[in-house]
Chain A
Amino acid sequence: MIASMSKITFAAQVEKLADIEQFVDACAERFLLDAKKTFGLHVAVEEVFVNICNYAYPDEEGEVSMSTGIEDDALVLEISDHGIPFNILVLPEPDTSLNIEDRTIGGLGGYFIRRLTDNVTYRREDGKNILKLVMRRIS
């Protein structure tokens, strides 16, 4: 059970990233996340948001909704869009051992989301992609 979910909606446009940044700061501050965890949450949320902006709505303008709440004493942030079904978590992990010439960026976003949150799950529900990010105060 997630207590007191509050929801805010943004246009799915990369230019809105500064608004997302403020929103994440407010969440982290309210939940008393430390600086390192807050940094990780910023990166994870950017990766999710930018991915939605770039791929979820190829033929239309769309929105991204973010709901926050507390579950089992952890900060829960659910990010949803009603775009094409897509689970960023199933992308293959990047090969982090390659050199500059061979290295590509593909898959790094999903990798960061998994590595910088304490738990993350994807579900498709009511025509929406929903990523649930969980951040604990202490790992």
Chain B
Amino acid sequence: MNIETFKESATTVVKVTGRLDAVTSSEYEQKFNALISDGETIFVVDLEKLDYISSAGLRALLATAKRIKGKSGQLFLANIAGPVKEVFNISGFGSIFPVYESVDCALNAVAG
């Protein structure tokens, strides 16, 4: 798994590449914890290049979202596609997160 981040005005865009599984999910949480500690509160997570996610990956997403919500922040997901989308759908995670078709759509939602 690889994580790249960049700022788009007040929003942190987090691009996740590869696998979010029982091994890599702790790395994902650590990355977010660091960003939250740095004072970031608004996130768009770009999942276009996410090839794989299991329940451990969803656990990390949920734990992170709860932490951000606890700081009165916001987390948006963008670009969920393919088999990863099926995992989101059957788990109900596709409806508990605000999900957008692209990073731009998510950024517009933040701005709006």
Contacts and interface: CB of A to CB of B under 8 A. Distances in A.
User: Main SS of the interface on chain A?
Assistant: helix
A35 B84 CA distance: 12
Interface stretch (B40-48, B49-57, B104-112): B49-57
Contacts of A42: 52, 54
Contacts of A99: 96
Interface size class on chain A is 20 to 34
Given A103-B62, A105-B55, A105-B62, A35 B83 contact: yes
B92 A97 contact: yes
A125 B96 CA distance: 40
Interface in A15-29: 15, 17-18
A98 interface: yes
B21 A112 contact: no
Given A40-B83, A47-B54, A99-B96, 15 more contacts: A17-B22, A39-B86, A42-B54, A46-B21, A47-B55, A50-B22, A50-B56, A94-B92, A96-B91, A100-B97, A105-B55, A105-B59, A105-B62, A111-B91, A115-B90
Interface of A: 14-15, 17-18, 35-36, 39-40, 42-43, 46-47, 50, 53, 94-101, 103, 105, 108-109, 111-112, 115-116
